[in-house]
Structures are given as structure tokens and as C-alpha cells.
Amino acid sequence: MLDRLQIIKQRFDEVSDLIIQPDVIADQKRYVQLNKEYKDLKQLVEKRAEYVNLRGNMDEANEILADGSDAEMVEMAKMQLDEAKGRLPELEEEIKFLLIPKDPEDAKNVMVEVRAGTGGDEASIFAGDLFRMYTKYCEGRGWRTSVVDVNEGTSGGYKEVIFEVTGEDVYGTLKYEAGVHRVQRVPQTETQGRVHTSAATVMVLPEAEEFDVQIDMNDVRIDFFCSSGPGGQSVNTTKSAVRMTHIPTGLVAQCQDEKSQHKNKDKALTVLRSRLYEMELAKKQAEDATKRSSQVSSGDRSAKIRTYNYPQGRVTDHRIGLTLYDLDGVMNGNIQKVIDELQLVSNTEKLKEGDVY
């Protein structure tokens, strides 16, 4: 392990030197990539320093115990050795997981699209509940959310809501949320008190930077139209909403959240770029899925991943068989435990496959 960590330390020193070079700073794409690598390697280098220090303490304690001439020193050495032996296995596990290379997309911001599925009005209400759950979770993480486009349901909630999340390691955290979410409860519109099952689909798209996806604007048709929904008198009189169609792929992105046509155009372009990037990423994930059958892959959008059962106050993630009896907490944004378990399973699978630095 020390040999591997030494190689990483050398690379960290090299990257530390590179990111202050003027020619690297001038090359935005390379500068961004090296900064991400610096941040990832920094954690490993800090753990390496602790590991080296711990092994040094153990060697020193063993020398004192072998000498045995000073009773007080021997007692202190025993305590030092016990402490180091207790920490070492834990530290080695932490290092093993840090040695798993991160996907380059993990550090990206995301576009989250929540769409009502089967279940009519109840599905729209559930999509609204999921949107609230995610915004509360993001707020707790110190991430910023910004609505890009909404299509409201007839009885509350949303037929579709698209929002942007910006922060640290957003895609690496939220990518596990992609898939079909089911809810089992008595709908507000149900008069007989029967439990219904409805669904909503969540898509998590890594936000593409300009150098990730090059869009030829000659391939894009831009339409302007009046916004719909609440927002004052200007909503139905000003053509501030923007719809973009990428002609080669048929992908469509629109934004009507801002009053400014220019801001809506920028946001719609960001969504379009992310969808194009996600298309390429989906192909790569499909190829990866043939190589490894990960149960927590974020590639299959049609997979039923989670059920929220209101009568039993239960949330079950079907990919890892995790059940929590904390439905209220989860719906109020406390989903970190689920994400932690999914990340642990994913990392354990990678470790088994020897997917490390």
C-alpha cells in the first residue's frame, strides 16, 4: 500500500506544480481537470501522511518494548501501540475506498428532471413531493437549486419539473437517484380510502461545460413563446420563454422560468448541452454495464429503484434491499443514509473488481 501511495504522492506534487504554471492556467479545460485531480489526490496524500505517522509510532513503540529498561516508557509505548493498532485497520479501509478512481463526471453540477408517470393527478402530486425532497436535501448540503422549467399538474404538483443543482460533487451523489420512484398511498382524490400505486421518473444529467459538448448553433432551431403559469401580467404578453430543438438528434430543451429572454436562452442551452452529453454518457454506461453487472448502475432509466409506502411509513430501495421506517424524514430531505449505502455497495463492487489507482 505504501508503494502505491508514494506514486500518488509524486503525482500530487507534480499536479501541485502544474496548476500554478501560466500556460496551464491559460488552458481552461486542462486547468479545471488538474484542479479536480488535485482535490481528489489531496485526500489520499493526507491519509498517506497519517498512515506513515501511524506506522512510525508502531515501530517506535515496538523498539521501546523490546528494550524494556524504562517501566514508565514501556507503559506509554503499550498505550501508543494499542492506539495505533486500533486505528490502522480503519485507516486502511478508508484508503482502499479513496484509491477507487472517481468518475470524471462525479464533480459536475447536474440538471434533475422529475416527471409524473402512471397515476394521473396523484403521480403529479408525488412528482412535486420528490421535487420538495430533493430541494430540502440540497439545501442541507449547502447546494444551490434553480428551477429551469415547470409544467404544473391540474391538482397540484408537477407533470414535469426541471431544476439545476450546483455545488461540490453533485453528480457523484445524486446519480443514484435516477430511475422510477413508486409511491403507495391513499390519494387525496380517493373517496373509498383505497391505497393506490403511482410513479414518477427521475433523471439526473451531469451538466456539460462548453468544452465537453460543442454545439453548432446552425443545427439548433430556436422558438420564442409566452410563458405559462403564475408570474404576473407579463407572463402571457411577453415572448420570454425559449424552446431549442437540436435538429440532428431531435432533442428539445426549453426554459420559461426567468422573465428575461436572454437568461432563458442561456438556461435552455445549458439543458440542451447536458442532454447531448448525457446521451453520450448513456452509451458509455451501457458499454460498461456489459462489462460489469452493477446493481446500483445509474444507466437504466426504466428501472424501478425505490418505493415510498405511506400506510407502513416505509421506504425501500430495491437495488440493495434497504428498508427504512422513516418516511417522514426521507420526504423532508433526509436521504443521505440511502445514498451512503448505495455508494458503499458501488465502491465495494469496484474494489472486488480491482478497480483502483
Question: pLDDT tens digits for 150-175?
Answer: 999 988 899 999 999 999 889 999 99
pLDDT at 213: 78
- Per-residue pLDDT band at 299 (split at 50, 70, 90): very low
pLDDT at 235: 47
pLDDT greater than 50 at residue 233: no
In percent, how much of the chain has pLDDT > 70?
89
pLDDT greater than 90 at residue 237: no
In percent, how much of the chain has pLDDT > 90?
52
Q: Which amino acid is at 7?
A: I
Question: pLDDT tens digits for 267-292?
Answer: 888 889 888 888 887 776 666 555 54
Residue 102 or residue 231, greater confidence: 102
Question: pLDDT tens digits for 243-260?
Answer: 999 999 999 998 887 678
pLDDT greater than 50 at residue 183: yes
pLDDT greater than 90 at residue 112: yes
Domains of the chain: 1-99 (1.20.58), 110-210+295-355 (3.30.70.1660), 217-288 (3.30.160.20)
pLDDT greater than 60 at residue 52: yes
Contact call for residues 253 and 278 (beta carbons, < 8 A): no
- Per-residue pLDDT band at 234 (split at 50, 70, 90): very low
Question: pLDDT tens digits for 129-157?
Answer: 999 999 999 999 999 999 988 999 988 89
Q: How many CB atoms are closer than 10 A to CB 166?
A: 14
pLDDT greater than 80 at residue 293: no
Among residues 223, 108, 127, the alpha carbon closest in space to that of 168 is found at 108
3-state secondary structure the chain: CHHHHHHHHHHHHHHHHHCCCHHHHHCHHHHHHHHHHHHHHHHHHHHHHHHHHHHHHHHHHHHHHHHCCCHHHHHHHHHHHHHHHHHHHHHHHHHHHHCCCCCHHHHCCEEEEEEECCCHHHHHHHHHHHHHHHHHHHHHHCCEEEEEEEEECECECEEEEEEEEECCCHHHHHHHHCEEEEEEECCCCCCCCCCEEEEEEEEEEECCCCCCCCCCHHHEEEEEECCCCCCCHHHHCCCCEEEEEECCCCEEEEECCCCCHHHHHHHHHHHHHHHHHHHHHHHHHHHHHHHCCCCCCCCCCCCEEEEEECCCCEEEECCCCEEECCHHHHHCCCCHHHHHHHHHHHHHHHHHCCCCC
pLDDT greater than 60 at residue 298: no
pLDDT greater than 70 at residue 193: yes
CA distances from 18 to 23, 26, 28, 30 (A): 9, 12, 13, 10
pLDDT greater than 50 at residue 92: yes
Average pLDDT in the chain: 86
Give the pLDDT mean for 169-198.
89
Taking the C-alpha atoms of residue 292 and residue 348, their distance in angstroms, rounded to an integer, is: 13
Say if residue 229 is exposed, middle or buried (CB neighbours under 10 Å; 0-12, 13-18, 19+): exposed
Question: pLDDT tens digits for 339-357?
Answer: 999 998 988 887 776 655 5
Give the pLDDT mean for 60-69.
90
pLDDT greater than 70 at residue 211: no
pLDDT at 105: 82
Give the pLDDT mean for 309-333.
96
Contact call for residues 277 and 206 (beta carbons, < 8 A): yes
pLDDT greater than 90 at residue 231: no
Taking the C-alpha atoms of residue 229 and residue 162, their distance in angstroms, rounded to an integer, is: 15
Taking the C-alpha atoms of residue 274 and residue 261, their distance in angstroms, rounded to an integer, is: 20
